[in-house]
Structure 1
């Protein structure tokens, strides 16, 4: 039985994780932490039934008392970084779905976990379809001279562009082996930022934030007389749960934190 703590248990993603863990036979919810919802039953908040697991506002105390195997984090970028460090210090495997941490923070977590011999996962996206989208985009990148990424999320998302968009751009550039995409012959923005943000290699990323959206992304490749669009849509937060549960199970076998669910999803 894998003992799980959920950090950010009062949030929308945290509630889904609580519900998913409670429904999973090989996992046990042993703790819940959040700055909001203190004193409420985590299962009741997640509409998973009364669990007796009360949401607390101090993750450190939850980790020390419950001694879980894994702590799943869906909080905010700065909180997630410090939470992951705390997990490793308590010899708890962090599974982080929070996006917005910078590369230096991610590398610090990986290095600390490797020194401690503690496995874990940082995943910009837990949707299996999103991982396949990135895999297909990486393959297409070898054959097209131009690409742009459009990511669309709900209006409460804090970071832009999304972690998924950045990760997609990274795997695309890995396939290009340092070769940049073609840039427009000439360009004049009448409104600054109209052409989106520019990632390395000439990849443009556009971020849309609107109520009614959950998480969506399309990668549009252009070539002579043709375009190729690869799109993924998460229509509910349930779409992330199979990946979260996979990440929890895989973290138990890892000896350091891994960045990207695809690193363990596609392993054979």
Structure 2
């Protein structure tokens, strides 16, 4: 079986380095390019360990893909450049998987149009943890029976965007799945501004950023006399890697733009 030629953007970051270790020949991949604004000139092997391909980090994605054609680009760089990276990849016949959250609705729409025009697939994945996708699925199921819900998402102190992409996606799924209206609460009297968090699709969302956390989320449902709590915890970035590999393989077979791993994990929907 021919290995999948993979390029990684944001390769010097923590998720990027873990992805370099994940996309090895052992798993059916061949790393051909690694891109980052930092650590330019160092090798992926230096950054991520002896089992990683001896690829030198570059700074310019277009030049890297011109020199080393790839089947798929896995991007953990930053939302400010990820959409441009994806467009450059499509121009060169390379499909993309974006793991950065924080893309605007306009950027997502433009990427969808670009995928359709090019005839190539792309994926935007808010969370690569299989358990997190299952949590969102269970939340969607619960919302049909318990329409009142709130989300608490907890992440490390270096995460810039809030709420997280996972929390926003979960809120959208809950809102779409409701078959009865949520309870109308009285207008709150705030003793501290923002104490009730924000709202996404009518679902309250609370964002916590602290050292010592990685990625965690609780969805709490309530109805008369009972509550249901769904929680997912990621303790190590290695837990995201099966989902990264699943996305990188699946995007080669999927037309258009795909949001999330749900449609890959649950193709019957």
TM, length-normalised to structure 2 = 0.95
Deviations 1:224-254 (A, max 9, x none): 0111000000110011100000001101101
In 2: Cα distance, 1:50 partner to 1:106 partner: 32
Give 1:23 shift.
Answer: 5.4
Find the counterpart in structure 2 of residue 258 from structure 1: 258
Give 1:52 shift.
Answer: 2.1
Choose from 77, 80, 85 the match for 1:83: 85
Find the counterpart in structure 1 of residue 32 from structure 2: 30
In 1: Cα distance, 2:51 partner to 2:244 partner: 20
Give 1:25 shift.
Answer: 3.5
Q: How many residues end up aligned between the 2 structures?
A: 266
Find the counterpart in structure 2 of residue 232 from structure 1: 232
Find the counterpart in structure 2 of residue 175 from structure 1: 177
1:120 and 1:257 in contact (8 A); partners too: yes
Give 1:86 shift.
Answer: 1.1
Taking structure 1 as reference, are residues 68 and 157 closer, same or farther at Cα in structure 2, changes over 3 Å only?
same
Q: Which runs of 5+ in 1 are unaligned?
A: none
Choose from 18, 21, 27 the match for 1:19: 21
Taking structure 1 as reference, are residues 50 and 96 closer, same or farther at Cα in structure 2, changes over 3 Å only?
closer
| SS of 2:145 mapped into structure 1 | coil
In 2: Cα distance, 1:183 partner to 1:39 partner: 58
Give 1:180 shift.
Answer: 4.5
Find the counterpart in structure 2 of residue 98 from structure 1: 100
TM, length-normalised to structure 1 = 0.96
- Supply the RMSD in Å over aligned alpha carbons: 1.3
| SS of 2:81 mapped into structure 1 | helix
Find the counterpart in structure 1 of residue 243 from structure 2: 243
Q: Which runs of 5+ in 2 are unaligned?
A: none
1:94 and 1:121 in contact (8 A); partners too: yes
Give 1:255 shift.
Answer: 1.7
